[in-house]
A and B are shown apart, each in its own frame.
Chain A
Amino acid sequence: MAAVRTSSEVAFNRIAIAAVLIATLIFLAPIYWIASTAFKPKELAVSVPPTVLFEPEVTPFVRLFTKRVQMQKPVDPQVYDAAPWWEKRIYDGGERVLKVGKDVQLSQYPDRFMNSLIVAVISTVLAVGMGTFTAYGFSRFKIAGEADLLFFILSTRMLPPVVVAIPMFLMYRVVGLNDSHIGLIILYVAFNLSFSVWLMKGFMDEIPKEYEEAALVDGYTRMQAFFKIVLPEAATGIAATAVFCFITAWNEYAFALIMTNRRAQTAPPFIPSQIGSGLPDWTTIAAGTFLFLLPVAIFTFLLRNHLLRGVTFGAIRK
């Protein structure tokens, strides 16, 4: 009997592993596509059937970071020989890198990328910080109309945010917040706060209040007890919430597209704007997208232990 069950368990295990593998492949396919395109020579990017084996090159990244113009006539061989390797790749493509004097002119990509970082990091810190305090309040104190307030906070997520895009745009224009970092940060904090409050409340509820009460009795103030006892206990929850908030803010497209166009434009609306007219340069776009994926991947990787615990414990229960 035991042997029968064991063999069926083994079979189930194999099926489960196969399913996980297939799912992983499906999830990884687009990432592989982007990554491989980012390193492909231009002409292979759109080849049918797709090329799997090719000699990788970094020319797409050079194009991504520089301003270029089409050459009218072939480059002077002496200039070509004097050029550094990466500039030669550009000449090979029939283009020339724009310069002011000797300095290479950078494309807008680094600025846009920086904008994304500034907006995502600051809005995440604010949303998670405010969410943690709010959740602590809801979790530990008797608050009149607690259920209604929590529902009200949640209700901000009940409509797709794009529905309010036009009124928001008009309001932002009047108060002068459009195309500013602070404007986007306010928006993203507003989106993420409800999520952060609810998630953190789940985690806070699971920290026994006895810990803080022991600290209170030991002579600590509520604030000291919060920072010394509650916050370290909530680290897992904070990490999980931060990852989710960061991803939301980092990936946000619609509002960034509507609210910003120059100074504060983030990477998501910028990257597709580079498709331009004529034949799109897919390798450069893929290079931009590939770099854009890295921060989220790194952030998630660093917090992976917390994240796994955060998703499996807390939040979901209760």
Chain B
Amino acid sequence: MAHIELKNITKKYGSHTALTGLNLDIADGEFFVLLGETGAGKTTTLRLIAGLDKPTEGQVLIDGVDVAGWGAAERDVALVLQQYSLYPRYTVRQNLEFPLKPKIRRLPDAEIKDRVARAARTLRIEHLLDRKTDRLSGGEMQRVSIGRAIVRKPRVFLMDEPLSALDAKLREALRTELKNLQMQLGATFLFVTHDQIEAMSMGDKVGVLNHGRIVQTGTPHEIYNNPRDTYVASFVGSPPMNLIDGRLVDDRAVMAPMNFELPLAIGAKAFGGAKASGATDGRPLVFGIRPEDVYLESGAPVEARVHDVENHGVEKILTLRVGDTMLRATVPARTDVAIEEPVRFAWNPDKVVMFDKGSGVSLRHAG
């Protein structure tokens, strides 16, 4: 188990910069999720920690020790990849034994047997041990991959989108299993994904990566409710946060395109120090509101038309149209609306997040 620290990491591949001034701090025993789109630099970050690549600048510290001079073998980390992490010629048992047999930390045979048996029991793959890996299903393969990681009791688990190649049901099941496993082992996990649901449901902490920079680090709750900028706001959440251009006029939000207005809870705790940090009247802003904080009510201040209805079982996601502005609202499934029907809506003023129009940074974070 270990504490991982990345200090001011920059990584360049030729003329392409993959990571810029990256700082990360992963506490011992933490489930840290690195969330970002394809090409954001997530895999690069993992490879730097694993020792498969060297940073162009900056330091990687494991338990406070700079590991720049250490090869992948010496770092004692485990890596689980989306695919190709099982050796096709080996049986499941041989795959599980493989990490226990290198010269630098060869274990006694009895210990190997014991550890393989324990890992197989934990992951419920005991019946597969003598099967060749090309005869496994996707879910079984990923279980074995995770098994290959846990047999070794490494200092840190690095997981590169281990669930992405699986179908939805299996992904959900393994998500829970992985989280339980991490708690059971008390291990440090660095989990990389582009799936914000995985990040939200599994992470103790989430780091959002965009174009090689960490945009925000925090608990899933912080990331979700208090996004640092419009990128995080639109990337996290499904459907994402509504972002509407507007201005602040007399403590009301005046939306630019169609000039509809909504009240704000000035002085409420969610508003925070926005006023102090320059949310002055007339300044161009972006108002952010989560779809679940938009209500339909007969007496509500703004009229809109229902543009689209998506039925999700427990709830419906409505797309509302006010002039040219589209707005998502999550409403209970029993809400009975038809497309093009006029409705009235309001928002929860406590939940509104204001972003600077120019920089995209939340006013709560600006100060």
CB contacts under 8 Å to A, within B77-105, are 77-79, 81, 83-85, 87-89, 98-99, 102-105
- Which residues of the partner chain A approach B148 to less than 8 Å between Cβ atoms? 214, 218
Shortest beta-carbon distance from A226 to chain B in Å: 13
For residue A148, CB closer than 8 A to chain B, the reply is: no
Shortest beta-carbon distance from A248 to chain B in Å: 30
B102 touches A219 (CB 8 A): yes
A210 touches B83 (CB 8 A): yes
B72 touches A224 (CB 8 A): no
Contact of A233 among B71, B76, B88, B98 (CB under 8 A): B88
Contact of B72 among A208, A216, A233 (CB under 8 A): A216
For residue A151, CB closer than 8 A to chain B, the reply is: no
Give chain A's interface secondary structure class.
helix
A218 touches B99 (CB 8 A): yes
A218 touches B81 (CB 8 A): no
For residue A217, CB closer than 8 A to chain B, the reply is: yes
- Which residues of the partner chain A approach B103 to less than 8 Å between Cβ atoms? 219-221, 224
Shortest beta-carbon distance from B83 to chain A in Å: 7
A216 touches B52 (CB 8 A): yes
A217 touches B84 (CB 8 A): no
User: Measured between alpha carbons, how far is A232 from B78 in the docked complex, in Å?
Assistant: 23
Shortest beta-carbon distance from B90 to chain A in Å: 9
User: Measured between alpha carbons, how far is A210 from B82 in the docked complex, in Å?
Assistant: 10
- Which residues of the partner chain B approach A150 to less than 8 Å between Cβ atoms? none
For residue A315, CB closer than 8 A to chain B, the reply is: no
User: Measured between alpha carbons, how far is A211 from B89 in the docked complex, in Å?
Assistant: 11
Shortest beta-carbon distance from A136 to chain B in Å: 17
Task: Given A217-B52, A218-B99, check contact A210 B88 (CB 8 Å).
Answer: no
User: Measured between alpha carbons, how far is A232 from B88 in the docked complex, in Å?
Assistant: 10
Task: Given A211-B87, A232-B89, check contact A219 B104 (CB 8 Å).
Answer: yes
Task: Given A220-B102, A224-B102, A232-B89, check contact A214 B81 (CB 8 Å).
Answer: yes
Closest to A218 in B: B99
User: Measured between alpha carbons, how far is A215 from B72 in the docked complex, in Å?
Assistant: 9
Q: Which residues of B contact A (CB under 8 A)?
A: 50-52, 71-73, 75-79, 81, 83-85, 87-89, 98-99, 102-105, 148, 152
Selected A-B contacts with CB under 8 Å, 5 pairs? A217-B51, A219-B105, A220-B73, A233-B88, A233-B89
Q: Which residues of A contact B (CB under 8 A)?
A: 208, 210-211, 213-221, 224, 229, 232-233
| Given A217-B78, A218-B78, A233-B88, 14 new contacts (CB under 8 A) | A208-B84, A210-B83, A211-B87, A214-B84, A214-B87, A216-B52, A216-B72, A216-B73, A217-B73, A219-B76, A219-B104, A220-B73, A220-B102, A221-B103
Q: Please provide the 8 A-B residue pairs with the shortest distance between their CB atoms, ordered closest to farther.
A: A219-B102, A210-B84, A218-B99, A216-B72, A208-B84, A219-B73, A217-B79, A220-B102
